[in-house]
Amino acid sequence: MYLGIIKFVLGVKLLNMKSKVTVTCPSNIALIKYWGKKNTGIQIPQNPSISWSLSDLNAKTTVQYRPGDIRQINFSYDGLVKESFLPKINEFFNRIEEILPWVKNGIFNIDTVNNFPHGTGIASSAAGFGALATALVELENKLNKDTDEYWNKVSEIARLGSGSACRSMYSKPAIWGASEAIHDSSDYYAVELKEPIHPSLQNWKDCVLIIDSGEKKVSSTVGHSLLNGHAYAEARFLQANKNLIELIQVLKNGNVDRFIKIVESEALQLHSMMMSSIPYYMLMRPNTVAVIEEIWNFREATNLPLCFTLDAGANVHLLYNKEVESSIKTFIDTKLLPYCQNATYLCSGIGGKPQIEHHD
């Protein structure tokens, strides 16, 4: 037993590593969508995307590491062992060995929990892999958290878990994928938009209207692959590039009308790519369409700054300027709630980045 403790302390000290860390990482919602992967590497996007972090919808992950001769991963969700998650986590560890060679060996006890209820249809992989990636870079203890290098590394590792996860690292809008609009943009990791955001787009919120909490019929990973050979793929990638360039301008100049048009068009383009894939499929439900129409009618009647976006699912993300929050809440409660499953919706602020707690 003593020998074990000495070996553990020496192992961790030699590597200058930490042994236990907890990270809380936000989820994110894309304004310009990542949909389609290149065949030139792992999770390399066909087009650049941009997202807002969702500060109030997050994953909290604790990783405890002990040196060992082989790699052993124990995974639990809120304290309950979940072996079904292990194949994906193991694959993730295999993918990141090139960037973090020390993960080849050792015992990793990973526990994670989301602060939003299970069965809401909200994707948790972005927050989950964002938290795990941050925890691993933090355990390694090599880079200074105040540097771009640190967060680029976290983002690159998160990308290898789930593409969209690489955008959960930044409080400001996160851009992933090389674009002529952003000089330091990369296909390998996301960067934050460094220029100031116009006040009219600085303080927005996202309420996720839960339309269908069931498991998706077609996973995102399969959905991405259906863009290979898709009849409209090249046109979609061009559109996304163009939309990204304009959206970045809009975030700086505060043209809310154009913001709304681009964001809604992106959501509908994402779903139209699904509907025109072969095999075709549809993730929107009748209530998704009903809510979109309610949003359009309400906006036309009130001229308030609100719009919708969609993820790869039936739920509707209602984005709005916080200044008009009370009108939006009344709108949700009176008009939209009947379309929501179990009258459920979850609201979040925009922004937020991984928060780190140490245990040593």
Residues that bind ligand DP6 (CB under 6 A): 30, 33-35, 43, 49, 123, 125, 162-164, 220-221, 224, 270, 311-312
Measured from the CB atom, the residue of 35 and 116 that comes closer to ligand DP6 is: 35
Q: How far is CA 126 from CA 114, 202, 293, in A?
A: 11, 22, 29
Measured from the CB atom, the residue of 139 and 274 that comes closer to ligand DP6 is: 274
- Closest separation between CB of residue 89 and ligand DP6, Å? 13
- Closest separation between CB of residue 318 and ligand DP6, Å? 17
- Closest separation between CB of residue 240 and ligand DP6, Å? 10
Burial group, residue 13, by CB count within 10 angstroms (0-12, 13-18, 19+): exposed
Measured from the CB atom, the residue of 264 and 311 that comes closer to ligand DP6 is: 311
Measured from the CB atom, the residue of 250 and 312 that comes closer to ligand DP6 is: 312
Instruction: State how far Cα 262 lies from the chain centre.
Output: 19
Taking the C-alpha atoms of residue 134 and residue 140, their distance in angstroms, rounded to an integer, is: 10
- Closest separation between CB of residue 126 and ligand DP6, Å? 7
Q: How far is CA 125 from CA 83, 89, 331, in A?
A: 16, 11, 30
Tokens matching residue 156? 């690159």
Nearest Cα residue to 308 out of 298, 294, 320, 318: 318
The residue sitting closest to ligand DP6, measured at its beta carbon, is: 163
Instruction: Determine if residue 225 is left, alpha or beta; phi over 0 gives left, psi from -120 to 50 gives alpha, anything else beta.
Output: alpha
Taking the C-alpha atoms of residue 46 and residue 223, their distance in angstroms, rounded to an integer, is: 13
- Closest separation between CB of residue 29 and ligand DP6, Å? 7
Measured from the CB atom, the residue of 67 and 223 that comes closer to ligand DP6 is: 223
- Closest separation between CB of residue 234 and ligand DP6, Å? 18
Taking the C-alpha atoms of residue 87 and residue 108, their distance in angstroms, rounded to an integer, is: 14
Query: Do 292 and 309 form a contact (C-beta atoms < 8 A)?
Result: no
Measured from the CB atom, the residue of 223 and 354 that comes closer to ligand DP6 is: 223
Which distant-in-sequence residues (6+ apart) come within 8 Å of 118 by Cβ? Answer: none
Measured from the CB atom, the residue of 161 and 305 that comes closer to ligand DP6 is: 161
Measured from the CB atom, the residue of 19 and 239 that comes closer to ligand DP6 is: 239
Kindly report the number of other CB atoms within 10 A of residue 176's CB atom.
Answer: 31
- Closest separation between CB of residue 325 and ligand DP6, Å? 25
The neighbouring-strand residues paired with 192 are: 174
- Closest separation between CB of residue 115 and ligand DP6, Å? 19
